[in-house]
């Protein structure tokens, strides 16, 4: 049997009709070498029982899975660096399938690098193997740090030489499949609004409400916006707590469930630097680390503008105004989780966030972002460990004293987690660019995948430690 009894196909995207997507055919690749198979994620949707041959059939050749009609390239528009572009859409990917996981969530299988579509324009519809490896690393690290993220299900090398202007070429090609909680983007609404199609906005609103935010009443567009605002505030706050920079926060890269996906020029902070950018082409720092909440809110205002075709402006504005308070509350919660301590109340929790950021700022390049949270995980319970560790010389002075006082006010949350071997190591698992490039260099030079698999194993151990 190619799928397990846990497999529950529900291809609801086809309910939308032909105005929202186009049936497409995948590219015919000259080779198919499985480079990454995420059976942990596959088991959540009943696909872990696929043989390697079946895996290639479904995730390189894209033969439809049982109960799935076939791939669709989604139509959408978007603001790219705040300039509207009506010529977007799935140009090198498609939605291949939808199914429920064990908890009942509707998940998508979306491809990247699967060939040209009606929305490819002049591009080749392909993905570099390096780009696929980077997506795996980003998603795995974000999941480890409790950030809502897609998971990379599959990466298959496809045997083509690709020419790229921004990296050494020719370079190896691949096709990637991600498991994601919705590919309905803000830009999906923008396309309907661009054409003045209030009927399409109503259809999208009901589709998204029913499948992803069922607590919202039928026909309540402001209520749906409020739900998307809350989910987006949570995502932005957890990016900040994780020290993550997405890089390209265009309206076509944010979805209605507040789940992060589509990792291009991402970075994790080496140290606290509000203006740190991930994309070399972000010349004005529009999507810099500290500006990400602003970028998310700006994109939400574009979504609200689309919903004005079916709702009054005032309740939509009220929904948007919920972003700021929600973000601050989510940031407090995210920092507490990162530090492994319990809430003591709004004022004390906010004080801990503030003094943590002051310490990181004053620590400069010497105090890296991730090690601070690692050293002081579970608060007081980590005192001896942190003050004997490799950064003990940095933990002194007024900023540190304020941090330690605020941290020790909070009770540890499940301090027994410190017994995990992860916390006996001097350094945490990080995902800085030098390590990412070294992992790729081993693959590019010697086809050596050992560093990648070793890194993924260490991240799995870190997830177990923090869980």
* Catalytic positions: 252
Nearest CA to 175 among 307, 62, 266? Answer: 62
For 216-252, b/e burial (b = at least 16 CB within 10 A) is beeebbbbbbbbbbbbbbbbbbbbbbbbbbbbbbbbb
Query: Measured between alpha carbons, how far is 103 from 369 in angstroms, rounded to an integer?
Result: 33
**Is residue 322 within 8 Å of 229, Cβ to Cβ?**
yes
For 389, which DSSP code? S
Q: How far is the first Cα of the chain from the last one, in angstroms, to the nearest whole number?
A: 33
Give the number of C-alpha atoms closer than 13 A to the C-alpha of residue 98, restricted to the C-beta side: 18
Torsion, Cα of 340, 344, 349, 355 (10° steps): -80
Nearest CA to 371 among 353, 383, 389, 350? Answer: 389
Q: Is the dihedral of CA 177, 194, 200, 69 positive or negative?
A: negative
Nearest CA to 192 among 370, 419, 19, 406? Answer: 19
**Strand residues in 168-296 grouped as ranges (E):** 171-180, 244-245, 267-268
User: Judging by beta carbons within 10 Å of its beta carbon (0-12, 13-18, 19+), is residue 206 exposed, middle or buried?
Assistant: middle
Backbone φ, ψ for residue 35 (5° rounding):
-105, -25
Q: Is the dihedral of CA 56, 60, 64, 66 positive or negative?
A: positive
If phi > 0 it is left, if psi is from -120 to 50 it is alpha, else beta; for residue 345 that is left
Residue 178: both structure tokens together: 């991600």
């Amino acid at each position: 049997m190619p799928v397990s009894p846990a497999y529950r196909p529900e291809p609801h995207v086809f309910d939308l009709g032909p105005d929202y997507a186009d049936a497409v055919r995948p590219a015919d690749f000259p080779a198919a070498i499985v480079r990454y198979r995420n059976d942990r994620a596959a088991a959540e949707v009943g696909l872990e029982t696929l043989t390697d041959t079946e895996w290639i059939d479904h995730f390189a050749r894209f033969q439809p899975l049982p109960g799935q009609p076939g791939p669709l390239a989604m139509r959408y528009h978007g603001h790219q660096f705040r300039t509207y572009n009506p010529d977007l859409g799935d140009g090198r990917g498609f939605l291949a399938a939808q199914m429920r996981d064990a908890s009942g969530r509707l998940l998508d299988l979306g491809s990247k690098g699967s060939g040209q579509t009606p929305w490819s324009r002049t591009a080749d519809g392909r993905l570099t193997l390096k780009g696929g490896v980077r997506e795996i690393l980003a998603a795995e690290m974000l999941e480890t740090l409790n950030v809502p993220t897609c998971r990379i299900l599959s990466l298959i090398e496809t045997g083509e030489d690709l020419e790229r202007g921004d990296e050494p070429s020719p370079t190896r090609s691949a096709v990637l499949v991600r498991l994601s909680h919705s590919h309905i983007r803000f830009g999906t609404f923008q396309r309907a609004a661009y054409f003045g199609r209030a009927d399409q906005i109503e259809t999208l609103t009901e589709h998204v409400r029913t499948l992803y935010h069922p607590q919202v009443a039928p026909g309540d567009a402001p209520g749906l916006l409020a739900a998307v605002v809350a989910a987006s505030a949570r995502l932005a706050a957890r990016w900040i707590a994780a020290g993550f920079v997405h890089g390209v926060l265009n309206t076509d890269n944010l979805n209605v469930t507040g789940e992060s996906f589509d990792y291009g020029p991402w970075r994790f902070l080496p140290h606290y630097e509000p203006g740190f950018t991930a994309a070399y082409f972000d010349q004005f720092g529009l999507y810099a680390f500290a500006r990400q909440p602003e970028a998310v809110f700006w994109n939400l205002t574009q979504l609200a503008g689309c919903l004005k075709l079916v709702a009054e402006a005032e309740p939509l504005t009220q929904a948007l105004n919920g972003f700021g308070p929600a973000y601050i509350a989510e940031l407090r919660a995210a920092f507490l989780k990162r530090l492994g301590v319990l809430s003591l109340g709004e004022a004390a929790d906010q004080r801990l966030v503030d003094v943590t950021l002051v310490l990181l700022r004053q620590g400069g390049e010497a105090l890296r972002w991730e090690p601070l949270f690692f050293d002081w995980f579970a608060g007081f319970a980590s005192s001896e460990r942190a003050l004997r560790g490799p950064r003990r010389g940095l933990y002194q002075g007024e900023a540190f004293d304020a941090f330690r006082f605020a941290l020790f006010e909070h009770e540890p949350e499940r301090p027994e987690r410190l017994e995990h071997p992860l916390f006996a190591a001097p350094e945490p698992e990080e995902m800085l660019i030098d390590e990412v490039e070294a992992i790729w260099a081993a693959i590019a030079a010697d086809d050596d995948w050992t560093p990648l698999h070793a890194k993924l194993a260490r991240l799995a151990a870190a997830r177990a430690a923090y869980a």
